[in-house]
Amino acid sequence: QSVLRFLASLPKAELHLHIEGTLEPELMFELAQRNHALDSLPCKTLQEMKAAYNFQDLQSFLNLYYAGCAVLRTDQDFYDLTMAYLRRAKADNVVHTEIFFDPQTHTQRGVPLKCVIEGIHRAQEEGQRTLGITSCLILSFLRDLGPEAAMQTLNEAEPFLGHITGVGLDSCELGFPPGVFQEVFQKAKTLGLKRVAHAGEEGPAQYIWEALQKLDVQRIDHGVKCLEDRKLIESLEASEMPLTVCPLSNLELKVYSGELEKRMSELLSTDLCITINSDDPAYFGGYLNQNYLWLIQNLGLDSQRVVDLHANSFRASFLSQDAKTQHC
């Protein structure tokens, strides 16, 4: 109880959050009804849907996550989704959040990119005005669709770059190394966009090297497989490269299966710049504070360590230097 009060008292930043992964089953069914899209869902009832949230690995989660996206059709849907997340984030005392979205998941289904971006953006503005939460948006490429589709997506997004802070790389990792996206990340850089990439979640440490060397990223998303490579850890420490770690996600997707606690302890005993995040909280059973709570309860983190981790999140954010100093 006092732990929860302590967590609630800390104003926090979140750096690894997929907006599609905040779609709670209740809202999913509400939007399905509103859009006459119940047939597009893999489950007919809320209870069935919730029962299906039981994953073996990343792919089994992605299958359900993409299926759930089928109910998102209008800019109002994206607004409602984002507002619901921001209200929930407020309850966890999140004051700054950097939100991923997967444009290809929606444009592939015929939803215009403009609807997606403008719906989310309108909620971001409303969230800043009424909840006091600052946020930015990171356009994430689906790595399994390949580099040409990513480049096409970046080109389509050019009219909306005023609403976008950076690009990311997500979806099925094994078999899709980061290096093949070098050209599209290079283009993103010339457009003035920040770069981050999921690497070393299920994929090997080599994928983290590639993201660093070929994509010129400012953060590694997940990155927990760096534990396989001592030299990589040293390099990440020396460059103060942030990792956006998501404990409940790793737990639910069976990354490091039986030994997650041990591996997380190892990670936290290094000098790496670790940040704590919720990834897809509607699917993994907890928003940001629950991710901190899991570490406290399972690894015995003390409050000073929690304060350090939360400061890392602001340090690793894309906030201005002034804003960072205010928060740390």
Q: Which residues are catalytic?
A: 201
Instruction: Establish if 75 lies at the interface with Zn ion (CB under 5 A).
Output: no
What residues numbered 9-28 form the site for ligand HPA, per CB under 6 A? 18, 21
Per-residue binding letters, 234-273, with Zn ion (x by CB under 5 A): ----------------------------------------
If the CB atoms of residues 142 and 188 are measured against Zn ion, the closer one turns out to be 142
Bridging pattern class, strands 166-170 and 194-199 = parallel
Q: How many CA atoms lie within 13 A of 261 on its CB side?
A: 9
Instruction: Establish if 198 lies at the interface with ligand HPA (CB under 6 A).
Output: yes
How far apart CA 190 and CA 301 sit, in angstroms, is 41
CB-CB neighbours of 127 under 10 Å: 21
Instruction: Establish if 279 lies at the interface with Zn ion (CB under 5 A).
Output: yes
Q: Which of 77, 201, 210, 252 binds ligand HPA (CB under 6 A)?
A: 201
Rounded to the nearest 10°, the torsion over CA 47, 53, 56, 57 is: 150
What residues numbered 20-39 form the site for Zn ion, per CB under 5 A? none
Per-residue binding letters, 24-63, with ligand HPA (x by CB under 6 A): ----------------------------------x-----
Given a contact cutoff of 8 angstroms between Cβ atoms, the answer to whether 283 and 53 are in contact is yes
Nearest-CB residue for ligand HPA = 170
If the CB atoms of residues 96 and 198 are measured against ligand HPA, the closer one turns out to be 198
* Residue (of 104, 114, 112, 108) closest to 143 by Cα position: 104
Rounded to the nearest 10°, the torsion over CA 80, 83, 89, 93 is: -160
- 3-state SS assignment for residue 141: strand
How far apart CA 97 and CA 161 sit, in angstroms, is 18
If the CB atoms of residues 64 and 311 are measured against ligand HPA, the closer one turns out to be 64
Looking at residue 119, its amino acid is G
- Residue 238 token pair: 């020396």
If the CB atoms of residues 14 and 279 are measured against Zn ion, the closer one turns out to be 279
Q: Which of 97, 107, 249, 289 binds ligand HPA (CB under 6 A)?
A: 249
By the criterion CB under 5 A, which residues form the site for Zn ion?
Answer: 279
By the criterion CB under 6 A, which residues form the site for ligand HPA?
Answer: 18, 21, 58, 65, 170-171, 198, 201, 249, 279-280
